[in-house]
Amino acid sequence: MSGGSFAFSRFSIILLLGNLAWTTRSNSLFVSKHATELIGPQFNSNIGRGEQTMYIGLTFCFWYNLVAWILSILDSCVVQVYIGLIDLCIVAALIPAVYWQGTYIPHWKSTCQNAASWQVSNASDESWFTVLAKLQKPAEPDPKGCCEKYVETWILTVVVIVLFSIFGILNIRSGTKNDLFTWCRLKRPWSTDMIQSKSFLRTLLKYLLLPFYIIWHFFVFPRTRAKWYFWYRYCVKVIYRHRGRRTPSTASLIQDNPQYEKNTIFRDKHSDRLSRLLMLDISTLVASNLHYTDIQSLSLASSHIRETLFPTGNIRHHTAHFRLNSCNQAGKTRCWHCQLQICNFRRVVDMSANSVTHRRLFIYTPANRAAQCATRIPSPSLLGRVAANADHTSRNKWSA
């Protein structure tokens, strides 16, 4: 597009911008004059800043468009680039204004039929448009008419945002493609023989367009807004944790757990006192009266119980514990359920002499194979139900 085309485009929207600037000015002044009635806790909290931002943004947009129309006639490529950048900045400033005003007015004229009940939580209260209509025309209030005027202004402002976005992009592209465009006294700095200048220009444009990009994504895309909120909460929690404090939202909900003294009974990894007491009860009261097969089934209940019944590592300190939970003459000799003799003798199988561990396998056999328990009573309810599905034909155990 040439300078004449840009000048014509700027001139064609002067009347539109003038009408919007005058309308928003009168609306903002009227709301500010009757702030007690129109800006109250019963109405939306964005009314005050929405009206003021729309008035300031559209008024600046109108006067800037007049200046840009005159400068576009000069058909200067450098001026076009700067005008395009300013256009995008204006768009970035108008997006929050449109968003704030869109929170307390409808987006379509068809919705204005319910202007008398728009955003009314209590049936006895009046809507914002009803109060506005009574203040403008006390004799003949027209809430629907006021609503339609606001919706029309809001839609035209959205159109202005779209037009200025197009103007900004076209101005930048047209200005940078011109052969007369120079940057830091370099002609066509984006050419292939000036890669450094090209990267500098792109970096500069990215920084100039960054506010527009952030505002656009934050107010238009809810997913992006949710991500920003997540990262904000994450950074706050990291900062509070680094300082040794809790976040305000979780400080009242989380209570400090009592610090128990560390105890190294049996040199296990458990730190909870109740857990250690239960493990002692299991090893002294329950396991001592169980068949070795039932002890194996009991060890399947949890890793803590298995560690208590069959401790691993440091065998020297667990010798007595091993003997208590093993099938030998010194320990238990009768089945907990049938009270029959379990262990009569043992058969020793020597491992290879070249074995690194030098261990022997002890195979315990019952005194009477026909006298084995036909049924197994489950473990106590304190430990939960444990399936006793171990092999009843042999009792194998490693010992040093």
The dihedral over CA atoms of 286, 290, 292, 296, expressed in degrees to the nearest 10, equals: -50
Bridge partners, residue 123, by sequence: none
For residue range 309-342, list pLDDT tens digits in order. Answer: 766 655 445 555 544 455 544 444 554 444 444 4
Checking if the pLDDT of 297 tops 70, the result is yes
What pLDDT was estimated at residue 277? 66
HEC-encoded secondary structure of 19-38 = HHHHHHHHHHHHHHHCHHHH
Spatial contact of 72 and 10, defined as CB atoms under 8 Å apart: yes
Checking if the pLDDT of 135 tops 80, the result is yes
What pLDDT was estimated at residue 283? 67
d(CA 286, CA 290): 7
H/E run at residue 3 = helix 3-12
Spatial contact of 392 and 382, defined as CB atoms under 8 Å apart: no
Split at pLDDT 50, 70, 90, the class of 208 is: low
- Short-list 240, 397, 232, CA closest to 328: 397
| Structure tokens belonging to residue 148 | 């339609």
* Mean per-residue pLDDT, 26-41: 82
For residue range 83-100, list pLDDT tens digits in order. Answer: 888 888 889 889 888 888
- For helices 195-220 and 77-102, the axis angle rounded to 10 degrees is 20
What pLDDT was estimated at residue 274? 65
Checking if the pLDDT of 380 tops 70, the result is no
Q: Count CB-CB contacts under 10 A for residue 79.
A: 17
d(CA 219, CA 237): 25
How far is residue 92 CA from its own chain's centroid?
Answer: 26
What pLDDT was estimated at residue 399? 37
Amino acid making up residue 152:
E
Q: Who wins on pLDDT, 365 or 134?
A: 134
Checking if the pLDDT of 228 tops 60, the result is yes
For residue range 250-292, list pLDDT tens digits in order. Answer: 444 444 444 544 444 444 444 566 666 666 666 666 666 666 6
| Structure tokens belonging to residue 175 | 């200005």
In sequence order, which residues have a C-beta less than 8 Å from that of residue 336 and are 6 or more positions away? 289, 290, 291, 294, 377
Task: Write down the domain spans for the chain.
Answer: 3-180, 265-399
| Structure tokens belonging to residue 237 | 């929690």
